[in-house]
Amino acid sequence: MNIVKKLIEDTYPKVVAWRRDFHMYPEISGAEERTAEKIAEILGQLPIEVQHNVGGHGVVGVLRGSKPGKTIALRADIDALPIQEQNDFDFASRYKGKMHACGHDGHTAILLGAAVILSSLKDEIAGNIKFIFQPAEEQAPIGGAKPMIEDGVLENPHVDAILGLHIWPALPKGKVGIKNNALMASSDPFIIEVFGKNGHASSPHEAIDALVASCQIVNMLQTIVSRSINPQEAAVVTIGKMQSGTKYNVVADYAKLEGTVRTLDPKTQLMVEKRVREIVNGVCQATGTIAEINYSHGYPALINDKNMANLIREVGRKILPQEAMIEIDKPAMGGEDFANYLQRIPGAFFWLGSGQEDSYPIHHPKFDFDENIMKTGIEMLIHSAFQYLEKGTDHE
Ligand code: NI
């Protein structure tokens, strides 16, 4: 046990340096070239087989233990966001309009740290550990997990289980959060285009007003959650963008709405979609407009495997300070494409608390975290990997 702690202390300065380097040079979804290169370079110095360009800019490392056994994957997302950073520390983003505002720089550094340490413990590993550095997590609805899976990341060697984490400012610093079943929501983006007929503002009767129709649609969509969904079920319908009109004295012939739906249950997910379509078509019929609906199924809900969540709990209780292991009672309504792996193999996703009094939420231009929590992240991943390979999940 203590040897891992010591190895983490020894590796920590490097982990911090990597995190800061990734933070200084953030690359947004689909453009993670430098990031991927740096990851591959670090993995390349270890007794790890490195694969490049897996499902885009994905990098995969396979560490084969000295003894045979199962394969567990540890995954980090590596992409940044199109946000102008407002932090002024010396490792703030060097790229205008791009920022690691979701902690993926930390996730990447944590996983690299885990890779270095696990490599040095190779002789004690029975089985394989696959390190998945995944791009494009922020690029819903396609994301980066799906292309990596399609490119075979869960095979050769076949992955039996997977673990991932997210730095989480809504959870106090020093805590680790886990939950059975749904931890994060499905996220389905949609675009609704409404077509009417132009006319002079003074003769509305000769036109078909797409702007008024789209306002009705926005209002009516609010009734889905309040009137059509069982109050015991969670759902969000948000229209975040609305565009219409060209001039104050012209009746608008076109409107465009963009929104997202978040749910935790596949049945609710389908129900919301059905109601969105019915409402849009109904309002169009009533207003003489025509609509086109482009509704995509984005990331599925992130459903943790009970046994794998138990493994995280057990490891957390063993290695963390007392009461640091927290049971999350309510899932987050944000999406996370780690969900795609969990649709295929058992696994668990946990939150690494980073919340302090002055902390900002993820995706905020001032988001940051205390780098010390990376040690906890590394420790959790290492012990969980060992525990899984030694005992599987059958260890009540
Ligand atoms: Ni994120």
Distance from the CA of 3 to the center of ligand 1, in angstroms? 31
For residue 14, tell me if it sits in a domain: yes
For residue 396, the model assigns a pLDDT of 41
Within this chain, do residues 104 and 175 fall inside the same structural domain, yes or no?
yes
Torsions phi, psi for 363 (to 5 deg): 70, 10
For residue 278, tell me if it sits in a domain: yes
Distance from the CA of 345 to the center of ligand 1, in angstroms? 21
pTM for this model (two decimals): 0.87
Domain count of the fold of the chain? 2
Burial 292-331 (b: 16+ CB within 10 A, else e): ebebebbbbbbbbbebbbbbbbbbbeebbeeebbbebeeb
Choose the final residue of a domain: 266, 295, 324: 295
Q: Residue 121: which domain range?
A: 3-185+301-391
The list of the chain residues with pLDDT below 50 reads 395-396
For residue 396, tell me if it sits in a domain: no
By annotation, the residues acting in catalysis are 79, 137
Within this chain, do residues 197 and 331 fall inside the same structural domain, yes or no?
no
Choose the final residue of a domain: 233, 267, 295: 295
Distance from the CA of 240 to the center of ligand 1, in angstroms? 20
Within this chain, do residues 312 and 290 fall inside the same structural domain, yes or no?
no
Start-to-end Cα distance in the chain: 20
Distance from the CA of 298 to the center of ligand 1, in angstroms? 15
For residue 393, the model assigns a pLDDT of 72
Distance from the CA of 337 to the center of ligand 1, in angstroms? 9
Distance from the CA of 363 to the center of ligand 1, in angstroms? 8
CATH number for 270: 3.30.70.360
Torsions phi, psi for 90 (to 5 deg): -70, -10
Distance CA(273)–CA(202), nearest Å, equals 37
For residue 181, tell me if it sits in a domain: yes
Closest CA to 333 of 163, 170, 191, 105: 170
Dihedral sign computed on CA atoms, order 327, 330, 335, 339? positive
Choose the final residue of a domain: 252, 275, 295: 295
Within this chain, do residues 179 and 327 fall inside the same structural domain, yes or no?
yes
DSSP for 240-289, please give it. EEEEE-S-TTEE-SEEEEEEEEEESSHHHHHHHHHHHHHHHHHHHHHHT-
Within this chain, do residues 169 and 204 fall inside the same structural domain, yes or no?
no
